[in-house]
Amino acid sequence: MKLATIRTEAGTRAARLEDNTYTLIGKYQDVGELLSEQNWQDLAAQASGETLPAAEAEVAQLINRPGKVVCVGLNYRGHILEMGRDLPSHPTLFAKYAETLTGPYDDIVYTPEDPELDWEGELVAVIGKTVRRASEEEADQAIAGYTIADDISMRGWQFRTKEWLQGKIWEASTPLGPVLSTPDEVDLSTAELLTQVNGEVMQQHSIGDLLFTPPHLVSYISTILPLHPGDVILTGTPGGVGRARDPQVYLKPGDTVTVSIDGIGEIRNSIVEAV
């Protein structure tokens, strides 16, 4: 099953995508609100409300106000090595805020304060059940599904200090979507992540190369604090980021970045000048 949040005249609404048609699910304003229902799978599967052809729909940010946006750095072996680091024994965590997220096809404003704008295509795990100190088996069952993000990073600000936060939380800089694909839709052992800039392949990597798997991450993070429905975990990016290239490559106004993952779909965002 694939779920999305689409824009309507009455505001955003959660919807099920099937056969190139969106079916609205009750009055839920986004997928995050839908996931707060214990029987969200049944509600989504049985929805028979208003429909809209996918070609006419405007897809919005998947989850409007997640309670937590937890991110993992250095989680693909290839990316860790290209950044000149040793393989970590524990996940490297940082956070984003709800204001950092944006829609899967929305424009991203170029930051004049930092010309080192970089891409990071990522698989995202979405929580569908409250867990605390979960085993990996319990964590696996708590994952509602998977989506895509591009952790657009302001590298100049990121590396001003040893802490990455200030380069990762700029307003409306992290697109999320386009759909939540339930786990049966995504084979993490074979799925491939592909990032392109203006049609040129920058990242092409197997999700199976993740050092810390989504269930491991959910278990690890839930040891620290509870995870609730609608919380999202960005699982890290593979090799191929602009900063690690020789010469380095950064995004500029007029560029378009796409990130796709098998079984989920594609996000696509253009970089535009600040107004």
Q: For residue 221, is pLDDT > 90?
A: yes
With bands split at pLDDT 50, 70 and 90, how would you rate the model's confidence at 80?
A: confident
Let me know if 215 is exposed, middle or buried by CB neighbors in 10 A (0-12, 13-18, 19+).
Answer: buried
For residue 81, pLDDT over 80 is answered with no
Query: What confidence score (pLDDT) does residue 211 get?
Result: 94
In the chain, what percentage of residues exceed pLDDT 90? 93
CA angle at 155 for the pair 81 and 116, rounded to the nearest 5°: 115
Tell me, what's the pLDDT at 95? 97
Mean pLDDT score of the chain: 96
Region 23-49: mean pLDDT is 97
What length does the chain have? 275
Amino acid symbol at 161: T
Query: Which residues, in sequence order, are bridge partners of residue 15?
Result: 4, 24
Kindly tell me if the per-residue pLDDT of 119 is higher than 80: yes
Q: What is the pLDDT of residue 218?
A: 98
Euclidean distance between CA atoms 205 and 164, whole angstroms: 24
Question: In the beta sheet, which residues pair with residue 118?
Answer: 153
> Poorest-confidence range of 55-64, 72-81, 84-93, 241-250?
72-81
Lowest-pLDDT choice from 77-86, 113-122, 228-237, 246-255: 77-86
Mean pLDDT, residues 149-157 taken together: 97
What is the torsional sign of CA 196, 112, 124, 219? Answer: positive
**Predicted local distance difference test score (pLDDT) of residue 86:** 85
Give dist(CA 173, CA 110) in Å, integer. Answer: 9
**Per-residue model confidence (pLDDT) at position 275:** 80
Of 13, 24, 27, the C-alpha closest to 48 is: 24
- The pLDDT score that the predictor gives to residue 259 is 98
β-bridge mates for residue 241, sequence order: none
What average pLDDT does this structure show over 222-244? 96
With 80 as the cut, is the pLDDT of residue 21 above it?
A: yes
Would you say 153 and 234 are in contact if contact means Cβ atoms under 8 Å apart?
Answer: no
164 vs 81, more confident: 164
Q: Point out the least confidently predicted range of 34-38, 84-88, 156-160.
A: 84-88
Token pair recorded at residue 68: 């937590």
Average pLDDT over residues 100-105: 98
Q: What is the mean pLDDT of residues 113-130?
A: 97
pTM for the full model?
0.96
Average pLDDT over residues 246-255: 97
Quick one: pLDDT band at residue 214, thresholds 50, 70, 90? very high
The per-residue pLDDT for 16 is: 98
| Amino acid, res. 101 | L
Domains of the chain: 2-59 (no CATH), 69-272 (3.90.850.10)
Over residues 176-190, the mean pLDDT reads 97
Count Cα neighbours of 247 within 13 Å in the Cβ-side half-sphere.
Answer: 3
Give the pLDDT band of residue 85 (cuts 50, 70, 90).
Answer: confident
DSSP-derived secondary structure for the chain: -EEEEEEETTEEEEEEEETTEEEE-TT-SSHHHHHTSTTHHHHHHH--S-EEEGGG-EE--S-SS-S-EEEEES-BHHHHHHTT-PPPSS-EEEEE-GGGEE-TT--EE--TT---EE--EEEEEEE-S-BSS--HHHHHHHEEEEEEEE--EEHHHHTTSS--GGGT--TT-EEEEEEEEPGGG--TTT-EEEEEETTEEEEEEEGGGBSS-HHHHHHHHHHHS-B-TT-EEE----S--GGGSSS---B-TT-EEEEEETTTEEEEEEEE---
- 225 Cβ neighbours under 8 A, 6+ residues apart: 68, 132
